[in-house]
């Protein structure tokens, strides 16, 4: 059966789409969108791609329409989908703060805690999750589905509180709101259909996908550093280097110098280089990495 050797992969449409396609390219798979064509092309004969809204992805993975897909943890929970969560995919951004769904009220309102909202109206795109949260907490509220622009609803007098996603809270505050509780922290996840996960071919394929995606994500925060070091300074230099991986050392041609090469976190380079320089390292170069496994 054809399906046995073919993995059906779901790519999220919309806000995650460009970042996802860029990550796959770094990982070794080129995905090409065609205008007016629903199935993006991928350069792997063992995979077929589909575009799918993040909100709906887990449904299609659960039903087996797709074998695996990328989507947010929030929407998996909202859909109560029974799927295998293979791994978290934490896209590196300037801010390392995760996206989170928060409960927010008018800044000048008297509400301080979720229980203060008993009997009130809450607008959100994440209805199901929100209902469960409040019923689990024994707080009776009216949860109303919002078609968007949710942040405006409280100020417009259309809801008493909202449950909305945010990273820094800036947009929430800009709408005159105050966050009173964090309900859910979310990030992208790679999920698989339960039956597909039992199929050896599909599972191996998904695991390779995951290894390469993780390798590409890890490389975003790391760089290669190479320098020439006088042999007698080697112990001091070695003591300074972070122990992430063993450095690669080679002899320079006709000289009592060594070549040292390491992989380090990009963030420490600006502190490390001045110290290496002070200890006598020369010809220090830094270069970018595509993947680190």
> What residues from 8 to 37 belong to the interface with a copy of itself (CB under 8 A)?
13, 27-30, 32, 34-37
Residue 43 touching a copy of itself (CB under 8 A) = yes
| Contacts of a copy of itself in 264-283 (CB under 8 A) | 266-267, 269-271, 273-274, 277, 282-283
CB of 126 to a copy of itself, least distance (A): 12
Edge to edge, the sheet with strand 188-192 lists 47-53, 7-13, 68-72, 188-192, 84-89
Distance CA 124, CA 202 (A): 36
Count the neighbouring beta carbons within 10 Å of the beta carbon of residue 51.
17
The residue behind tokens 């290894």 is 211
- The CA angle 215-75-171, to the nearest 5 degrees, is 90
> Judged by CB under 8 A, which of 116, 197, 228, 236 binds a copy of itself?
228
Residue 71 touching a copy of itself (CB under 8 A) = no
Cβ distance to a copy of itself smaller for residue 110 or 235 = 235
| Contacts of a copy of itself in 233-252 (CB under 8 A) | 234, 238, 245-252
Residue 134 touching a copy of itself (CB under 8 A) = no
Residues counted in the chain: 293
Residue 152 touching a copy of itself (CB under 8 A) = yes
Cα–chain center distance at 190: 10
Stretch that binds a copy of itself, among 98-106, 133-141, 145-153, 186-194 (CB under 8 A): 145-153
> Judged by CB under 8 A, which of 17, 19, 53, 90 binds a copy of itself?
53
Distance CA 236, CA 280 (A): 10
- # of chain residues touching a copy of itself (CB under 8 A): 83
Distance CA 162, CA 11 (A): 29
């Amino acid at each position: 059966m054809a399906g046995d050797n073919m993995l059906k992969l779901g790519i999220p449409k919309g806000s995650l789409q460009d970042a996802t396609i860029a990550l796959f390219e770094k990982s070794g798979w080129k995905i090409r969108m065609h205008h007016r064509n629903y199935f993006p092309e991928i350069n792997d004969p063992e995979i077929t791609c589909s575009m799918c809204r993040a909100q709906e992805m887990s449904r299609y993975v659960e039903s087996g329409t797709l074998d695996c897909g990328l989507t947010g943890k929030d929407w998996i929970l909202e859909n109560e989908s029974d799927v295998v969560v293979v791994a978290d995919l934490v896209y590196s951004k300037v801010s390392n703060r995760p996206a989170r769904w928060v409960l927010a009220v008018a800044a000048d309102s008297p509400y301080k805690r979720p229980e203060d909202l008993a009997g009130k109206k809450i607008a959100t795109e994440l209805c199901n999750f929100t209902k469960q949260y409040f019923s689990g907490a024994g707080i009776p509220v009216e949860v109303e589905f919002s078609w968007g622009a949710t942040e405006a609803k409280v100020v417009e007098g259309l809801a008493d509180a909202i449950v909305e996603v945010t990273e820094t809270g800036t947009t929430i505050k800009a709408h005159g709101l105050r966050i009173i509780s964090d309900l859910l922290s979310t990030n992208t996840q790679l999920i698989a259909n339960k039956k597909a996960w039992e199929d050896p071919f599909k599972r191996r394929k998904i695991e390779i996908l995951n290894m390469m995606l993780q390798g590409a994500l890890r490389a975003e925060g790391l760089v290669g550093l190479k320098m020439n070091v006088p042999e007698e300074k080697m112990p001091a230099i070695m003591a300074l280097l972070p122990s992430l991986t063993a450095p690669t050392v080679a002899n320079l041609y006709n000289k009592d110098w060594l070549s040292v090469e390491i992989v380090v976190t990009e963030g420490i380079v600006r502190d490390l280089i001045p110290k290496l320089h002070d200890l006598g390292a020369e010809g220090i170069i830094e270069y970018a990495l595509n993947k680190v496994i």
